[in-house]
């Protein structure tokens, strides 16, 4: 069976909304490559998948860990197969086995979630990643975050539902909610990017309370949340890109980006495409956020509309700008899985 067949053809501008069957098979990002048996050995429940994810992957920033040079290079591992390549090279054996810090692969919440998705999908369980903001690490600040949702079939009435959980949390922490069946909605511990964008647009919350971390205003605020609405859409469409991948609008305030894309345009023999205005991006975020919230409420027409909107320049396929936390800037070709990094001074 083809476990990584694409759901869209960006060249044709067509996309179909993922079904439960689609969420139960691997995306190009969650495909474990030669490591399927290692994932299959991990139980497809939140406790087992979360524990194995945290044993394999150490957060590159949380807790200020001291990283080896090899771990610093881990941060831009985009594909689960690559993450598992690194894990296996450093320590053979079950993924849930304890590891010394230096034998872990450095990553972030997106990678813990991608690992959990890989486990669930390897067992045929429909699962997807959700992009949003966690208000439970340093309240009242909401950190950008990625969590898991898996589909649970109903026991009595037969109606199933999406169960949301954070693979980095365990029930013995200082949480006032069930970490393996989190409440949802705009007032929940983890509002989605779409919900936060709507709250900001309505003037209900302070945009400065949302971002990477307190004290880093350049990586937070209104425009930051707007970008995460597109990230949420991409992940819903099973394109679980890095949190620092950007597409559709090329950042013009990062050294090296303009030059890189100009070079790519010349290589293609094409003129650089015009950039959308801030107002156009606001309108896009308004539309996509409304559709995401409606789709979460069960509106199947909104699911179809999201799929239609996710085409052409707004699909995270082809080439994306990669603004790595390591300070590197590059253009990543997702088809060939290669990144062309800008020269550093």
pLDDT digits (tens, 9 = 90+) for 36-70: 999 999 999 999 999 999 999 999 998 888 999 99
| Per-residue pLDDT, 68 | 92
Q: Are 261 and 331 in contact (CB under 8 A)?
A: yes
Q: What is the mean pLDDT of residues 185-204?
A: 98
Longest dimension (CA), the chain: 63
Mean pLDDT confidence for 101-122: 97
d(CA 152, CA 298): 15
Find out whether 227 and 199 touch, Cβ atoms under 8 Å: no
Stretch 233-257: mean pLDDT, rounded? 84
Of the candidates 313, 281, 294, the one whose C-alpha atom is nearest the C-alpha of residue 13 is 313
Q: In this predicted structure, which of 1-10, 131-140, 152-161, 177-186 has the lowest mean pLDDT?
A: 1-10
Tell me the pLDDT tens digit for each residue of 263-294: 666 666 555 556 788 899 999 999 999 999 99
List the beta strands (DSSP E) in the chain.
8-9, 14-15, 57-59, 105-107, 127-138, 141-152, 161-165, 210-211, 245-246, 319-323, 329-333, 338-341
Residue with more model confidence, 312 or 143: 143
| pLDDT of the residue at 251 | 67
pLDDT tens string 19-40: 999 999 999 999 999 999 999 9
Percent of the chain with pLDDT over 70: 87
What is the 3 state secondary structure string of 4-68? CCCCEECCCCEECCCCHHHHCCCCCCCCCHHHHHHHHCCCCCHHHHHHHHHHHEEECCCCCCCCC
């Amino acid at each position: 069976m083809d476990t990584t067949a694409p759901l869209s053809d960006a060249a044709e501008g067509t996309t179909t909304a993922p079904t439960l069957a689609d969420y139960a098979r691997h995306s190009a990002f969650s495909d474990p490559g030669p490591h399927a048996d290692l994932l299959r050995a991990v139980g497809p429940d939140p406790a087992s998948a979360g524990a194995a994810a945290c044993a394999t992957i150490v957060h590159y920033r949380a807790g200020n860990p001291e990283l080896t040079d090899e771990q610093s290079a881990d941060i831009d591992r985009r594909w689960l197969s690559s993450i598992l390549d690194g894990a296996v090279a450093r320590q053979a054996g079950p993924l849930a086995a304890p590891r010394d810090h230096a034998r872990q692969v450095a990553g972030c919440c997106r990678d813990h979630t991608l690992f959990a998705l890989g486990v669930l999908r390897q067992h045929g369980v429909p699962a997807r990643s959700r992009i949003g903001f966690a208000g439970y690490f340093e309240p009242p600040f909401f950190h950008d975050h990625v969590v898991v949702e898996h589909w649970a079939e109903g026991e009595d009435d037969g109606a199933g539902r999406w169960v949301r959980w954070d693979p980095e949390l365990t029930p013995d922490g200082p949480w006032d909610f069930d970490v393996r069946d989190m409440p949802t909605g705009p007032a929940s511990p983890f509002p989605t990017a779409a919900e936060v964008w709507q709250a900001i647009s309505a003037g209900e919350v302070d945009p400065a309370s949302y971002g990477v971390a307190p004290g880093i205003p350049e990586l937070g605020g209104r425009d930051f949340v707007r970008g995460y609405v597109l990230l949420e859409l991409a992940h819903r469409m099973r394109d679980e890109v890095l949190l620092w991948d950007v597409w559709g609008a090329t950042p013009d305030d990062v050294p090296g980006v303009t030059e890189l894309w100009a070079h790519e345009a010349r290589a293609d023999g094409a003129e650089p495409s015009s950039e959308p205005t801030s107002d156009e991006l606001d309108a896009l975020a308004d539309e996509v956020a409304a559709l995401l919230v409606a789709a979460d409420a069960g509106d199947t027409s909104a699911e179809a509309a999201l799929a239609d909107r996710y085409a052409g320049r707004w699909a995270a396929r082809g080439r994306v700008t990669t603004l790595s936390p390591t300070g590197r800037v590059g253009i990543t070709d997702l088809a060939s899985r290669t990144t062309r990094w800008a020269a550093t001074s």
